[in-house]
Chains A and B, each alone.
Chain A
Amino acid sequence: MHTRSMFLRILWKLLGASRGRLTVALIALASGAAVCSALLNVNLDAEKKLTQEFRTFGANVVIAPPVTGGDAALADASVMDQIAAQHDPRIVSRIIAATPFLYVAANSGSQPVILAGTLFDQLSKMNSWWKLQGNWVSSGGDREQCLAGVAAARQLGLAPGSRVEMRSGGRTISLDVAGIVTTGGAEDNQIFTRLDLAQGLAGLPGKLSLVQLSVSGTTAEIEEVTRSLASAATGLEVRPVRQIAAAEGSILGRIHGLIFWTIALILALSMLGVLASMAALAMERSRDVGLMKALGGPVSRIMHLFLAEAGALGVLGGTIGFFAGAVLARWIGGRVFGVEVSPRLVILPVTVALTMLVALAGAFPLRLLGRVRPAEILRGE
């Protein structure tokens, strides 16, 4: 019989002999691991979900010509092709929407108004929170349509279904008002129509004022996209909208912080639970350890037994906790973030490793048994 199998044999008996206390420790470990695994799972999915949601709250990157003197310079519409030509999948997948704008100073009757030419499908992806009265602009149809900002609509006396005529530099277009939008921003004063119509009215075919982008990711990831776009769009400035990036980053940071500290706290509590049952176990085992030392058992060998025991407990508790946590994560994800949290296997080794550390730290009282003096222990009674 090998020495190794004797080790396992003793370990097995040891586990059996102390199953009551070890079960208590296991429960502490598994519940800690469950919360830890649940939060880690939620953390990943919630971050994805939140960054996606943030990205429907307006642009966070703007591409525009550099401001030179007082003149509002214009960009070439080819910049849209340069954005579309990005092929690094990490860049492409982060660009949620790229919305071009050409702003035209026009008049409707005697009233000055800003006509914004844009792409409506991109506009809707980026501004899903806009309040719409009436309909969104439909593609096709025989009459040209527009959306009116709520302030502009009031000023011009527009309602869904009414018609507006606009002039600029001698040209005129006439548009059907599909809907009125309330944006809470400068857009309330604008009238939105198709890009090519605005370009036609202004006599600026192939020109843009700027492009607004919605880019998902962390501050660093957004900057990576910004850099990549900057090198593609020569002659233009690519700027992240700092306040937005910073605000999103800080919300995510707070959520991460909250989750991190919760995990730390839970693991500390679970370690206290382990510590308590291990302390009781250490009392029960002091005589056996004294005896083993008296029989010539090296402290290191005896400690290996206890460490293996704690390690096994950690692996078992971590694994149970991982699966329990996956279930918990689904529940939390649904309740709090409204996301389908799908448990990730990468979290299994992380949870097991953390739980093992907790178990080993919690086994500290058993380590103290190494100091037991056999003469004193065996003399007693």
Chain B
Amino acid sequence: MASLVQVENLEKRFGEVRALDRVSFAIDAGEWIAIMGPSGSGKTSLINILGGLDQPTGGRVVVDGQDISRLGERDLTRYRSEKIGFVFQQFHLVPYLTAVENVMLAQYFHSITDEKEAAEALKRVGLGDRLDHVPAQLSGGEQQRVAIARALINHPKLILADEPTGNLDEANEAVILELLRELHASGHTILVVTHSPAIGNLADRRVELEHGRLARIHVPSIAKD
């Protein structure tokens, strides 16, 4: 079976800085990958390219059979709405929209809105009673759960989370972790950037970056690569 994601000789330069330097690896559908590495090692750069937020300066990224390194602005936008679910460290909800409207916003950009379905998605992350609250009325953990509901609403091929627990305390980290675990169990493909060893150990594989280079791929159960 072909991999869902193939990264080949990926390179991203910001002027003199090589944020990514000939990185290659593949992700199978349903896999949970943790991306780890010190600050500045290129984790966010990698996830931005995989999510179609940025374009590589070299190499190739194929996602679901589509070479996204060659897509124009318009196609990348469609790619993001159809294939990707983002979760950010800073939650990034629209402050003047309610929880349910934030989820509906993703539906709106994808195709058509369905308030019931959006409410269902919030119930699944335990926020069934907070539908009409705006982000300012929600705790950090709750905001991140809204973001997860939003990321899932369009049934994306790939969930990309950049330090999703980086701004949360331990209790909330545990809640998010549990949600990720459920997503993985139900067959989602997840890529999480994290500094948390706990998340790293739960993932199927850990991709470790150093100075933009792929340092090692660590498989907790089976030794591979």
Contacts and interface: CB of A to CB of B under 8 A. Distances in A.
Given A3-B113, A292-B109, A378-B88, A298 B74 contact: yes
A296 B81 contact: yes
Nearest to A298: B77
Nearest to B104: A6
B53 A295 contact: no
Interface in B118-146: none
Given A10-B97, A295-B86, A375 B53 contact: yes
A142 interface: no
A298 B54 contact: no
Contacts of A16: 96
B105 A13 contact: no
Contacts of B82: 296
A107 B106 CA distance: 102
Interface string A349-379: 0000000000000000000000001110011
A374 B112 CA distance: 23
A2 B112 contact: yes
A284 to B, nearest CB: 10
A343 B30 CA distance: 70
B108 A291 contact: no
A3 B109 CA distance: 9
A299 B77 contact: yes
Interface string A6-45: 1101100110110000000000000000000000000000
Interface residues of A, number: 29
Q: Which interface class (under 10, 10 to 19, 20 to 34, 35 or more) fits B?
A: 35 or more
A301 interface: yes
Contacts of B94: 288, 291-292
A254 B82 CA distance: 61
B172 interface: no
B77 A378 contact: no
B67 interface: no
Contacts of A13: 96-97, 101
A71 B92 CA distance: 97
Nearest to B74: A298
Contact of A375 (B54, B79, B81): B54
B222 to A, nearest CB: 35
A3 B108 CA distance: 6
A334 to B, nearest CB: 46
B28 interface: no
B90 interface: yes
Contacts of B24: none
A7 B74 CA distance: 20
A17 B53 CA distance: 27
Contact of B108 (A6, A17, A375, A381): A6
A297 B107 CA distance: 10
Nearest to B80: A296
Interface in B81-105: 81-82, 84, 86, 88, 90, 92, 94-97, 101, 104-105
A346 interface: no
B113 A1 contact: yes
Nearest to A12: B96
Contact of B109 (A296, A378, A379): A296
Nearest to B82: A296
B121 to A, nearest CB: 14
B182 interface: no
Contact of A6 (B79, B81, B96, B113): B113
Nearest to A374: B53
B114 interface: yes
A119 B140 CA distance: 94
A10 B53 CA distance: 23
Interface string A291-317: 111111111010000000000000000
Nearest to B96: A17
Contacts of A287: 92
Given A288-B94, A297-B109, A298-B109, A9 B101 contact: yes
A295 B97 contact: no
Contacts of B114: 1
A301 B108 CA distance: 10
A379 B44 contact: yes
B113 A294 contact: no
Contacts of B113: 1-3, 6
A67 B150 CA distance: 93
B184 interface: no
A328 B191 CA distance: 64
B39 to A, nearest CB: 13
B78 A296 contact: yes
B92 A378 contact: yes
A295 B109 contact: yes
Contacts of B44: 379
Given A3-B108, A16-B96, A293 B54 contact: no
B96 A296 contact: no
Nearest to B118: A1
Contacts of B178: none
Contacts of B73: 299
A291 B81 CA distance: 12
27 contacts: A1-B113, A3-B112, A3-B113, A10-B108, A13-B97, A13-B101, A16-B96, A288-B95, A291-B92, A291-B94, A292-B94, A292-B109, A294-B80, A294-B92, A295-B106, A295-B109, A296-B79, A296-B80, A296-B81, A296-B109, A297-B81, A298-B74, A298-B77, A299-B73, A374-B53, A375-B53, A379-B44
Q: Which 8 A-B pairs have the closest CB atoms?
A: A296-B81, A17-B96, A296-B80, A375-B53, A297-B109, A375-B54, A6-B113, A296-B109
